[in-house]
């Protein structure tokens, strides 16, 4: 039998993976695969999941964006060159959905098994990789403050409501952004650097492609007032890149973001590095299964 390793986070989302373990084993066993599980925990270093990585066809990952981020960074640190497939079982599954993975675990498994390996890009901030998005500003604050139970029960509506409540008291970002395409130094509310398309299940960089060798940068300018609220609701409707009002969008394979202020950064829902941020697109740096392009 072919062997795959299932690396799963039992705490992601609403513990959805726990309810589906037997079903996953059944589906793979019926197709002549042996699934070897590795349970992510605080008492077992994630590096141990890669002790025998050469024995496996690919890694089947179950968790949200933060889990996928941690696993991919561990892979890169160890120099492991093995395809991954993602089961969307976290609170936010933006990268999995960018790859076209179904929410239904049975359908996701079948899509993975019937697919071929493809190569997609990764983002890199200083020494850390991100699969989906690096961000700073309002969204970072909202993502880190929004109650986990609220996220699980309300989904992306939790971000809408929390984001609207934060706008009146949010401090504008004083940053500089430099790339071959643009030099930006105006105050802003939000900065997104996308490898994927969405953040918090909000389809923000809907023109982004995960295999084009480019990152999509979306900046919301810092004019706090009616225009800002209009821009915010255009995010909800998915119209902000078509008729940008206070929104800047461009693509690049390399940029630098800097600030002298104490501003938090975020990569795939986890705390990001300190300034300056040297960000690059690492073209075709990750092998994936299940990608429906």
Chain centroid offset of residue 109 CA: 20
Angle made by CA atoms 80, 70, 63, in degrees to the nearest 5: 110
Per-residue pLDDT of the chain (293 residues; tens, 9 = 90+): 999 999 999 998 878 899 999 999 999 999 999 999 999 999 999 999 999 999 999 999 999 999 999 999 999 999 999 999 999 999 889 999 999 999 999 999 999 999 999 999 999 999 999 999 999 987 665 554 544 444 444 444 444 444 445 555 567 889 999 999 899 998 888 899 999 999 878 888 989 999 999 999 999 887 755 555 565 566 556 666 666 667 888 999 999 999 998 888 999 988 999 999 999 999 999 999 999 98
Contact 266, 196 (CB under 8 A): no
Same domain (yes/no): 64, 145: no
Segment holding 259, helix H or strand E: none
CATH code (residue 111): 3.40.50.10330
Contact 241, 207 (CB under 8 A): yes
Same domain (yes/no): 209, 134: yes
Range of the domain at 229: 130-283
Amino acid 239: pLDDT: 61
Same domain (yes/no): 137, 169: yes
Same domain (yes/no): 182, 262: yes
Domains of the chain: total = 2
Last residue of a domain, one of 89, 115, 141: 115
Contact 193, 181 (CB under 8 A): no
Same domain (yes/no): 96, 13: yes
CATH code (residue 145): 2.60.200.40
- In DSSP terms, 60 is beta-bridged to 6, 85
Amino acid 92: pLDDT: 83
Same domain (yes/no): 139, 48: no
Q: Is residue 175 part of a domain?
A: yes
Last residue of a domain, one of 57, 89, 115: 115
Same domain (yes/no): 150, 98: no
Q: Is residue 204 part of a domain?
A: yes
Same domain (yes/no): 78, 138: no
Segment holding 239, helix H or strand E: none
Q: Is residue 290 part of a domain?
A: no
Q: Is residue 121 part of a domain?
A: no
Amino acid 227: pLDDT: 59
Same domain (yes/no): 137, 274: yes
d(CA 40, CA 107) in angstroms, rounded, equals 24
Segment holding 212, helix H or strand E: none
What is the number of other CB atoms lying within 10 angstroms of the CB of residue 118?
18
Contact 93, 24 (CB under 8 A): no
Same domain (yes/no): 30, 168: no
Amino acid 234: pLDDT: 63
Last residue of a domain, one of 92, 115, 138: 115
Same domain (yes/no): 135, 73: no
Residue in 25, 87, 35 with CA at minimum distance from that of residue 61: 87
Contact 80, 53 (CB under 8 A): yes
């Amino acid at each position: 039998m072919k062997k795959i390793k299932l690396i799963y986070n039992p705490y992601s989302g609403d513990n959805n993976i726990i309810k589906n373990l037997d079903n996953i084993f059944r589906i793979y066993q019926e197709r002549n695969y042996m699934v070897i599980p590795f349970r992510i925990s605080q008492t077992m270093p994630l590096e141990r999941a890669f002790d025998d990585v050469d024995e496996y066809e690919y890694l089947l990952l179950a968790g949200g964006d933060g889990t996928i981020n941690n696993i991919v960074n561990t892979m890169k640190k160890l120099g492991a060159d093995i395809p991954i497939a993602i089961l969307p079982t976290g609170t936010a599954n933006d990268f999995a959905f960018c790859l076209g993975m179904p929410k239904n675990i049975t359908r996701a498994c079948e899509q993975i098994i019937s697919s071929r390996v493809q190569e997609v890009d990764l983002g890199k901030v200083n020494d850390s990789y991100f699969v989906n998005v690096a961000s700073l500003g309002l969204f970072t604050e909202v993502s880190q403050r929004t109650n986990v139970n609220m996220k699980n029960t309300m989904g992306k509506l939790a971000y809408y409501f929390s984001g609207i409540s934060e706008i009146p008291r949010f401090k504008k970002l004083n940053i500089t952004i430099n790339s071959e395409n643009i030099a930006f130094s105006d105050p802003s509310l939000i900065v997104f650097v996308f490898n994927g398309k969405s953040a918090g299940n909000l389809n923000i960089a809907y023109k982004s492609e995960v295999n084009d060798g480019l990152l999509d940068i979306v900046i919301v300018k810092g004019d706090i007032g009616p225009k800002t609220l209009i821009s915010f609701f255009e995010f909800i409707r998915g119209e902000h890149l078509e008729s940008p009002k206070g929104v800047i969008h461009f693509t690049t394979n390399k940029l630098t973001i800097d600030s002298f202020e104490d501003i938090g950064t975020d990569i795939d829902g986890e705390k990001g590095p300190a300034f300056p941020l040297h960000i690059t697109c690492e073209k075709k740096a990750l092998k994936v299964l299940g990608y429906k392009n």
